[in-house]
């Protein structure tokens, strides 16, 4: 991926801060949830693929209710895991992915404890996780941010759409590429809040179909909104 020159990098960082302040004024500070287990985060993101948050939460709760621990999930048959996560859909695809990732973590680290990653530099922790089977940039970033409190920036469909429309991402950049592009633009202390605020904004105002540009607090900062409303 092309590297931003220093002037562009600084300009984009300032832009991120302006967007962040506007979002914070609009929605208020997100409340921090208690730190989750990074392995649970990995499994949760696998469950969330192509389904809603409600179905993901239901499947995750049922997985734990059925097996009691991630160690027991690791040792269970694919069929039993698939039955427990049925509500998340694609259970015959997700069950082997979950089992493979848990078995690989066990083989590599001797347990399902990933807390040692917290002592590594962010890039190293990220590449360790991304080398696990079925773990892409979003899954790794979620595990690092929510499970270990590290400033990795997960890009979901809302964040990808909003940052493309704002002009923060270059036109046509994929969500996969956006993780590494956005991360250096966001101060580490703001990563969690900025991530959550962008998702809220994407869900309530900057929706995929018919974004509510005329009432958007980011309108004057947004390439798409200004163009759509003919603001020069
Ligand atoms: S102005 Fe429109 S496109 Fe831009 S962020 Fe707001 S809702 Fe989204």
CB of 206 shorter than 6 A to ligand 1: yes
Query: 86: closest CA among 110, 67, 111, 60?
Result: 60
Is 221's pLDDT higher than 90?
A: yes
Assess if residue 1 is contained within a domain.
no
212 lines ligand 1 (CB under 6 A): yes
Which protein residue's CA is at the shortest distance from atom 2 of ligand 1?
A: 213
Q: What global pTM score does this model have?
A: 0.88
Domain stop point among 126, 148, 170: 148
Residues spanned by the domain of 138:
38-148
Say how many domains are in the chain: 2
H-only helix segments in the chain: 6-27, 38-48, 53-67, 70-75, 78-84, 91-109, 122-130, 137-142, 148, 157-166, 175-182, 191-204, 223-228
Per-residue pLDDT tens digits for 170-190:
999 999 999 989 999 999 999
Closest CA to 15 of 215, 226, 231, 182: 182
Whether 164 is in the pocket of ligand 1, judged by its Cβ within 6 Å, is: no
pLDDT in tens, 59-109: 999 999 999 999 999 999 999 999 999 999 999 999 999 999 999 999 999
% of the chain residues with pLDDT over 70: 97
Contact call for residues 145 and 195 (beta carbons, < 8 A): yes
Identify whether the C-beta of residue 211 lies closer than 8 Å to the C-beta of residue 165.
yes
pLDDT of residue 8: 87
Please say whether the beta carbons of 20 and 190 come within 8 A.
Answer: yes
User: Are residues 191 and 100 part of one domain?
Assistant: no
* CATH code assigned at 189: 1.10.1670.10
Do residue 112 and residue 44 come from a single domain? yes
CA of 214 to the centre of ligand 1 (A): 8
Same domain assignment for residues 106 and 162: no
Task: Say which CATH number the domain at 91 has.
Answer: 1.10.340.30
């Amino acid at each position: 991926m092309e590297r931003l020159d220093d002037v562009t990098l600084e300009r984009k960082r300032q832009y991120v801060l302006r967007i962040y302040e506007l979002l914070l004024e609009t929605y208020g500070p997100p409340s921090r949830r208690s730190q989750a287990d990074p392995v649970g985060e990995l499994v949760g993101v696998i469950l969330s693929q192509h389904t809603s948050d409600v179905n993901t939460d239901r499947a995750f709760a049922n997985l734990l209710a059925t097996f009691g621990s991630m160690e027991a999930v690791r040792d269970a048959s694919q069929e039993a895991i698939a039955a427990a996560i049925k509500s998340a859909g694609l259970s015959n695809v997700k069950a082997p992915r979950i089992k493979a990732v848990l078995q690989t973590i066990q083989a590599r680290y001797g347990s399902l404890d990933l807390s040692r990653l917290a002592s590594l530099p962010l890039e190293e922790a990220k590449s360790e996780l991304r080398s696990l089977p079925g773990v892409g940039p979003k899954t790794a970033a979620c595990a690092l941010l929510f499970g270990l409190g590290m400033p990795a920036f997960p890009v979901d469909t809302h964040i990808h759409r909003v940052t493309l429309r704002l002009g923060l991402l270059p036109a046509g950049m994929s969500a996969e590429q956006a993780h590494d592009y956005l991360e250096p633009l966001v101060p580490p202390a703001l990563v969690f809040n900025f991530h959550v605020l962008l998702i809220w904004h994407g869900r309530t105002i900057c929706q995929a179909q018919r974004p509510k540009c005329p009432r958007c607090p980011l309108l004057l900062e947004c390439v798409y909104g200004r163009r759509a409303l003919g603001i020069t």
